[in-house]
Amino acid sequence: MQAGVFAAPGQFIVENRPEPSLDTVPSDWVKLEVEACGVCGTDLQIVKDPPGHPAAPGVVLGHELAAHVVELGSEANSVREGDRVVLAPNLYCREQNLEPCAQCLRGRTNHCANFHTIGIHRDGGFARYVLTPEKALLSIAEDLSLGDAVWIEPLSCVLGGFNQFDVADAGTALVIGAGPIGVLHALMLKSQGLPVMVADLADARLEQARDAGVDWTVNVNAESLADVVSDATEGRGADLIVDAVGGQLGTAVDLAAMMGQICCFGLNSVTPIVNQSHLTERELRVFGTFVGVCTFPQAIQLLEGGLLQPSGLNLTMPLADLAEGLDLCRTGAAVKVVAVPDA
């Protein structure tokens, strides 16, 4: 079968791999046939030179996948052959049949001491077949479009931050970054009736954000983000701000309204300069968010219910062409690239 592989720093290749066998994994694992798998920003970070995120060289990437079950391990009993599923790719103590660590005991599974990710630490979904623990699977409706199903995993991460916002008294929202995560944040904020601004450097991504229903888009190379926010809010600033890029906390603090809330989602090694006087005097609330805790069912419900329909942002292509797809993501020419395994 063809597989999309992190070969070495700066090298992503599509090569032939043997079909994986359940003989090589614990007996409660299952074999999935992948319908489609989305490209995540983490995938782009992994294949940079030097890598911006660690991964095992030679690993098959891909963790935003929709699939159906084709074979069961001898002790797998919570799914059946033919079930349509999505993968929760981050494996914690429970999924690995380990005694719970201190963080898992506290319900903070996203900080599990044994955190392990399919598609990063072991072979993932950029292939026709993938092996996973049955405990990492959630069923999805047969009529959920494939284009929407691949958004379940990133939406589950977004909800980890979005659910911490108090939107009751918010008037306007700003999202910094128009990649998949930024657009999902914008769509969630729009679903609460909020006018939303999105800022980015790529015109193509901003155009797709507008098509998705965003109220204002700002190319920060061409316009002053501070001026746009001031005009849109009559000088008050944005009540809710998401940094979906990373390293933008200083900008967010400067643009926040009194009692504003700032969600730091993006991961970036940049050390921002923050005006603490603004943060303190405006009584801003700043929080970080990493992955999501128990948010997959909520993500599935939102997409199956049609509250969000992000599939219009997809650029779908054969797995064989995925190296080109990664380039389109890097340049901002595409918001979400989705790979479909070759028959």
Taking only the tens place, the pLDDT of each residue in 146-165 is 999 999 999 999 999 999 99
Delineate the domains of the chain, giving CATH numbers in brackets.
2-156+292-340 (3.90.180.10), 165-288 (3.40.50.720)
Burial of 105 (0-12, 13-18, 19+ CB in 10 A): exposed
Helix (H, G, I), strand (E, B) or coil at 144: coil
pTM here is 0.96
Examine residue 89 and say whether the peptide bond preceding it is cis (omega within 30 degrees of 0): no
Residue that is written with structure tokens 């589950």 in the block: 156
Which tens digits make up the pLDDT trace of 235-246? 999 999 999 999
pLDDT of the residue at 270? 84
Other Cβ atoms less than 10 A from the Cβ of 97: the count is 10
Q: If we measure between CA atoms, which residue out of 320, 293, 326 comes closest to residue 88?
A: 293
Q: If we measure between CA atoms, which residue out of 79, 44, 37, 42 comes closest to residue 62?
A: 37
Tens-binned pLDDT, residue by residue, of the chain (343 aa)? 999 999 999 999 999 999 999 999 999 999 999 999 999 999 999 999 999 899 989 999 999 999 999 999 999 999 999 999 999 999 999 999 999 999 999 999 999 999 999 999 999 999 999 999 999 999 999 999 999 999 999 999 999 999 999 999 899 999 999 999 999 999 999 999 999 999 999 999 999 999 999 999 999 999 999 999 999 999 999 999 999 999 999 999 999 999 999 999 998 888 889 999 999 999 999 999 999 999 999 999 999 999 999 999 999 999 999 999 999 999 999 999 999 998 5
Residue that is written with structure tokens 């659910």 in the block: 163
Gap between the Cα atoms of 268 and 177, Å rounded = 13
Q: If we measure between CA atoms, which residue out of 239, 141, 139, 247 comes closest to residue 194?
A: 239
The runs of H, that is alpha helices, within 256-313 are 276-281, 296-304
Other Cβ atoms less than 10 A from the Cβ of 119: the count is 31
* CB 291, CB 161: distance < 8 Å: no
* Structure tokens that stand for 157 in this block: 């991460």
Bridge partners, residue 314, by sequence: 336
Gap between the Cα atoms of 85 and 169, Å rounded = 37
The runs of H, that is alpha helices, within the chain are 41-46, 102-105, 146-149, 152-162, 180-191, 203-211, 225-232, 249-255, 276-281, 296-304, 322-331
Question: Which residues, other chains included, contact 229 with Cβ-Cβ below 8 Å and sequence gap of 6+?
Answer: 174, 197, 237, 238, 255
Task: Quickly count helices (H) and strands (E) in the chain.
Answer: 11, 17
Residue that is written with structure tokens 């046939």 in the block: 33
* Structure tokens that stand for 170 in this block: 């918010």
For residue 226, give the amino acid letter. Answer: A
Gap between the Cα atoms of 180 and 183, Å rounded = 5
pLDDT of the residue at 342? 82
